[in-house]
Structure 1
Amino acid sequence: MTTKHQSYYVPSQSVWPIVGAIGLFLIASGAGLFVQQLKSGASGGGYVLLVGIAVILFMLVGWFRTVIQESMAGLYSSQMDRSFRQGMSWFIFSEVMFFGAFFGALFYARMFAVPWLGGASNNAMTHEVLWPQFEAIWPLITTPDGTKTQAMPWTGLPLINTIVLLTSSVTLHFAHVSLEKGKRSAILLWLGITVLLGVGFLCLQVEEYRHAYQEIGLTLASGIYGNTFYLLTGFHGMHVTLGTVFLLILFFRVLKGHFTPDKHFAFQAGSWYWHFVDVVWLCLFIFVYVL
């Protein structure tokens, strides 16, 4: 019995990983400088952050283009396809752990730190010494220096954004079903609607941040409630941005006729990622806004 071996394509050295690393470094540095300048009045952090975002977008477009060219040239075998699936699965798992850490921090603050500061677990003496006027309630709308803010209600923009994002999962599913049936016009319609919903979500989130900062005083200086709010919603917004770019590239690939009902893993990968982002937002909406 003879075993038929498949060739496994090994790409040459690429510049895109180092470009991505530089972009992430600029984003991290720019975000830190931007937060500092909110307190000190300095400038420059926002520009570094924007440059980092531009570098990441450039890296995504360039790297995707390279992979698309290799795929269309027929260099990938079925084993390579399995490698892509495993890689995307592990990537999404790492993202689950990423958000799990932030939800864990929120859980610790609400269930342990806040009650402890309020005198729970026979901690009345420490409560009197550290913060005598502290009330163990969530969300904390008063910081230790007496600064007061307001909690972001779950109604209004957060509820609208939840509906928008959940609807986008439905339209993306319809696009996937249309692809499996070979209905290219329907794919473009549903996928285009999904991209527009993603852009709409981001626009509404910008408006929510404007409302939070200018009208209700919910800022990064609003204690642990403000910190966890912007940490979770901000990182989620970044993932929605990347997911929207991903879907937009898929839209243009559909226009070029790249996918078939039997071979469309790139579309599946984008669908997995977008559904994951939607599930994270649903958890975020419940635990950050509602409860």
Structure 2
Amino acid sequence: MAQGAYYVPHSTKWPLVGSVGMFIFAIGSANWLNGGPTGPWLFALGGATIIYMMFGWFAEVIRESEGGLYNDAVSRSFRQGMIWFIFSEVMFFAAFFGALFYARMFAVPWLGGDGTGAMTNQFLWPQYDATWPTHGPAELGGDFQTIPGFGLPLINTLILLTSGVTLTLAHWALKKARRTALLFWMVATVVLGLIFLTIQGYEYIHAYRDLGLTLGSGIYGSTFFMLTGFHGLHVIIGAIMLIVITIRCAAGHFTKANHFGFEAAAWYWHFVDVVWLGLFIFVYVV
């Protein structure tokens, strides 16, 4: 390819496959949460379609990259695209953090009679004690207990932060062309990510079975599971990306001068780390 040329990808089925998968996934999720009998099946079908799309699209881009079809202009567009993608993810989580802060700092105090909510408290919820965590004046979902921050969540925080360190060491090894060290640290990063997900899964089971903490436990339960659940989904996506990158490293696809695929996955994983720090502080500790 000429240096000044820009590679224009051929038509591909993957955006359509991904859109159909996400549509089925969303319908299945909503159906499942509302007790519909087809919800779990649609949820699984949509998830499987998305995973199929991810692996298929990854493979196509890898073939094009290894075929020498990308130049510096394409590399810059990839970087810009990844930056905007992560920015959109920042806004996604900002919306949920905003809902948490609004409920905790404004809505709950108003229901308790503070400030502009005095009339609301007097006529609607005169007996409501505005304390956090809360399941609201109607005590939705019944009594529940919260998960202490300095237990499993702290362990998971240390695990995820350690995975960020091992990923950085892998990046350093790649830039030094130390293939054995690269693979070791990449495998370590993937293992730590899977351990994180396992512990979070256990935490969810414990919350539902032993603590009475569910999605139906008022505003605290809904914000807790929406924030930690979507973060867990992002960890799953990041782990899939890292597995693909590890396989590519083992195949010798990256060089110390040309490895944006690795960097993109690393950016995403570090973003996941930062989001979890915010979750740990504002959901579990404060």
| Structure 1 length-normalised TM | 0.95
Q: Per-residue deviation at 1:126?
A: 1.6
Contact 2:31–2:39 (Cα < 8 Å) also in 1: yes
Aligned equivalents of 2:209, 2:3: Cα separation in 1: 64
Query: Are 1:124 and 2:124 matched, yes or no?
Result: no
Cα distance change on mapping 1:74 and 1:229 into 2, 3 Å: same
**1:53 maps to 2:47:** yes
State which drifts further: 116-125 or 280-289. 116-125
Equivalent residue for 2:227, pick from 228, 232, 243: 232
Instruction: Please give the secondary structure, in 1, of the residue aligned with 2:115.
Output: coil
SS in 2 for 1:257: coil
Aligned residue for 1:123, secondary structure, equals helix
Note if contact 2:25-2:42 (Cα within 8 Å) is conserved in structure 1. Answer: yes
Q: Name which of structure 1's ranges 43-52 and 179-188 shifts more when overlaid on structure 2.
A: 43-52
Deviation, 1:155, is 2.2
Q: 1: distance between equivalents of 2:134 and 2:117? A: 19
Residue 108 (1) aligns with residue 106 (2): no
2:21 maps to which of 20, 23, 26:
23
| Matched residue count | 284
Taking the aligned partners of 1:236 and 1:246, their CA distance within structure 2 comes to: 15
Cα offset for 1:65?
0.3
CA pair 106-122 structure 1, distance change in 2 beyond 3 A = closer
CA distance in 2, matches of 1:163, 1:141: 30
Among 3, 8, 27, which residue is 2:6 paired with? 8
Kindly provide the CA deviation profile for residues 138-193 of structure 1, in whole angstroms up to 9, marking residues without a partner as x. Answer: 11146514621112211222111111100100000000000000000000000000
Contact 1:33 1:45 in 2 (8 A): yes
Moved over 2 A (4+): 122-125
| 1:33-182 alignment runs, 5 A limit | 33-37=31-35, 42-141=36-135, 144-145=138-139, 147-182=142-177
Counterparts of 1:5 and 1:21, CA distance in 2: 34
SS in 2 for 1:101: helix
Q: Distance in 2 between matches of 1:66 and 1:104?
A: 38
User: Is the CA contact (8 Å cut-off) linking 1:141 and 1:150 kept in structure 2?
Assistant: no
* Residue 283 in structure 1 maps to residue 278 in structure 2: yes
- Could you say which residue in structure 2 is the equivalent of 1:249? 244
1:219 to 214, 217, 220: 214
TM-score of the superposed pair, with normalisation by structure 2: 0.96
Gaps of 5+ in 1: none
- Point out where structure 2 has 5 or more consecutive residues left out of the alignment: none
**Quick check: 1:16–1:59 contact (8 Å CA) kept in 2?**
yes
SS in 2 for 1:215: helix
Q: Displacement of 1:128 after TM fit? A: 2.4
The AA in structure 1 aligned to 2:145 is Q
What is the identity, as a one-letter code, of the residue corresponding to 2:221? G
Give, in whole Å, the separation in 2 of the partners of 1:148 and 1:71: 55
Q: Distance in 1 between matches of 2:107 and 2:120?
A: 12
| Matches of 1:64 and 1:25, distance apart in 2 | 20
CA distance in 1, matches of 2:136, 2:221: 11
The alpha carbon displacement at 1:123 in A equals: 3.2
Q: Percent identity?
A: 55
The residue type paired with residue 136 of structure 1 is A
How far did 1:85 drift?
A: 0.4
